[in-house]
Every structure is written in C-alpha cells, then in structure tokens.
C-alpha cells in the first residue's frame, strides 16, 4: 500500500480533513507517540473499520513527562513508523514539531479532577494533565468522528473520555482491547528497554492479574487477595509494585468486592528501571 501523506502543520491537517468532509467521508484519528508496535496498528485497523479516512498522529508530548522521566530517550523510529502505517493503510500521518503544538506564549492546560488522581496519577502527578491537554488539541485539530485509544492505558482512556465529554468535543472516544505477546505481556514501546532476563519476568504481571481477577470475580475481598498478588509479583522478580488495585470499571472508584458493577484490576510495577503497567477486567462469576 502507498505510504501515508505526512503533514506537519495544523493548517494543512485541517485543509485535508475539510476536503474529506466535503467529499462526505468519515474520519478517525489515532493519537500516538510513535515507536509503533502492533498495539498501535490494531488501533489503526479498528479506525479503518469505523471510518473512511484515518489520521495517525505521532508526537512525543513533552508536557506529559516529568523532568526525571524518559523524554530524551523515548524510542523514535520515523522511517519504520511510516512503513508500518503504509502496510496497514492509514492515509495521513500528522507529525507536528514541538513549536507547532506549543508555540511561544502557549499558556493553557486541561486538568481532569478525580480520574487523574491515584493509580498512575499518584506517582506521575502532572502526567494526565499533559495527556489531556495534548489530546484536547489533537482532537480539535483533527475534527474527527472517532478517536481510538488502547485499553492498555485504561486510566488514560477514561481521562480522555471525560475530557471530551466535559469540553463538548464531538469526537467519539473508542477503547480498543490490549494487544499482547503470545506469553501475555501487553505490547508497549517501553518493552524495548527490557533485557532478556527481565523480558522473561515481565509476562508474570498479566498472569498474576488474571489469577487475582478470577478470585475477585468469585467474591474474594480485594484487601486480602491483592496482598497475595503483591507478594507473588515481588517473588517473581519485579523490583517494586507501585500499585495493584481493584477499581470500578466506569468511574475508577476504589472497590473491595465485586458485586453487580464491573471492575477493573490495574497495576504498575518496576522492572530493572522500566515501569510497566497493565490491567484486566473483573466481572462477577455467574
Ligand atoms: O498513549 C499515548 O501514546 C499518549 O499518551 C497519547 C494519547 C498519544 C498522548 O500523547
């Protein structure tokens, strides 16, 4: 398939989308930070099922990294990304530079209370504000019917959905199930940082979450059961368990027991300096 058209300015993106709209075509946008893997490509495939034209955005957003995080060494592979996007058939790749997204004098920020606090927000207090700000801009710039986000970043998905609803952005936010390696490890650009030994430990995160989700679904109390999960993860070789928590799937309120509301079990762990996150649904066993 032909490579996507590369667009670097907001004005050119708007003109392209306007042309599609004038031709009666539907549009989806897939926001990414590049270093594309099959999880991203799955978002593009789902986008192509929903819409006639797909814009993939690639922008490593400085506003969502703290000074101690990996902004400078975040993996980048522009040529590889464009080849992958050509293979799946995305029509446009929007790759603005930092000056285009945050010109001199930029002074605004979007803050989503509640959903941004706790879980990943506890150790990364500025992260979701940076995500919400850049996604609000990207949604306004693209003016798409649909925007695709992976469930791998479950808290991010809910933050973005809340933000779009609160700010009256008329783009439907679509959550797409996590794509996994055959051994269960959720695909992530940061998996590239794992050495061979740690790569063998990493899938235990999904295995332990799955085992705990089954017990919670059968009525186990989170307080007691998740202590076991923490201990099992530490024994498996993770350096630290940042959190492992049962929350309500729609609101992220803390839950101790699964009753009639669907739950979500979410975790973040450290492995050799690499921070891994994952989550699984928890439903009451019938
Ligand atoms: O999930 C990501 O890659 C980023 O947080 C996003 C949504 C592209 C915003 O920069």
User: What separation in angstroms does the CA of 232 have from each of 129, 184, 206?
Assistant: 33, 17, 12
pLDDT at residue 105 tops 80? yes
Which one of 30, 36, 60, 64 would you pick to mutate in the ligand 1 pocket, going by the greatest count of ligand atoms within 8 A of its CB?
Answer: 64
Across the beta sheet with 146-150, the strand order is: 5-7, 92-94, 53-58, 27-32, 146-150, 172-176
**Binning pLDDT at 50, 70 and 90, where does residue 1 land?**
confident
Ligand 1 pocket test target in 29, 30, 31, 148 with most atoms within 8 Å of CB:
31
Residue 117 has pLDDT above 90, yes or no: yes
Residues enclosing ligand 1, CB less than 6 A?
Answer: 31-33, 61, 64, 131, 134-135, 153, 156
Q: Please give the pLDDT value at position 69.
A: 87
The tens digit of pLDDT for each residue in 241-277 reads: 999 999 999 999 999 999 888 999 999 999 999 999 9
Active site residue 40: yes
Residue minimizing CA distance to atom 8 of ligand 1? 32
Quick one: tokens of 189? 């650009």
Overall average pLDDT of the 34-59 stretch: 98
- How much distance in Å is there from the Cα of 134 to the middle of ligand 1? 8
- CA-based nearest residue to 174, from 53, 49, 25, 14: 49
Mean pLDDT within 162-191? 97
Tell me the average pLDDT across 163-182.
98
Residue 31 has pLDDT above 90, yes or no: yes
Report whether pLDDT(178) > 90. Answer: yes
Looking at residue 260, what is its pLDDT?
Answer: 81
């Amino acid at each position: 398939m032909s490579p996507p058209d590369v667009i670097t300015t907001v004005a050119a993106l708007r003109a392209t989308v306007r042309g599609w709209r004038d031709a009666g075509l539907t549009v989806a946008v897939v926001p990414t930070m590049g270093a594309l893997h099959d999880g991203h490509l799955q978002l593009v495939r789902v986008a192509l099922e929903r819409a006639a034209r797909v814009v993939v955005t690639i922008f490593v957003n400085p506003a969502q990294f703290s000074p101690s995080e990996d902004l400078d060494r975040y993996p980048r592979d522009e040529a590889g990304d464009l080849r992958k996007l050509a293979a799946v058939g995305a029509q446009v790749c929007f790759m603005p530079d930092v000056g285009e997204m945050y010109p001199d004098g930029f002074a605004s920020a979007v803050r989503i209370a509640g959903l941004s606090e706790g879980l990943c927000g506890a150790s990364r207090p500025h992260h979701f504000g940076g995500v919400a700000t850049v996604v609000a801009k990207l949604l306004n710039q693209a003016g798409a019917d649909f925007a695709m986000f992976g469930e791998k970043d479950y808290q991010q998905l809910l933050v973005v959905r809340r933000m779009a609803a609160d700010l009256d952005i008329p783009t439907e936010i679509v959550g797409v199930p996590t794509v996994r390696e055959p051994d269960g490890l959720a695909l992530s650009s940061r998996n590239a940082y794992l050495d061979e030994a740690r790569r063998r430990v990493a899938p235990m995160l999904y295995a332990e979450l799955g085992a705990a989700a089954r017990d919670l679904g059968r009525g186990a109390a989170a307080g007691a059961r998740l202590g076991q999960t923490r201990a099992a993860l530490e024994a498996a070789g993770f350096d630290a368990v940042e959190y492992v928590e049962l929350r309500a799937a729609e609101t992220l309120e803390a839950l101790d027991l699964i009753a009639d509301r669907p739950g979500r079990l979410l975790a973040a762990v450290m492995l050799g300096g690499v921070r891994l996150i994952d989550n699984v649904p928890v439903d009451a066993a019938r």
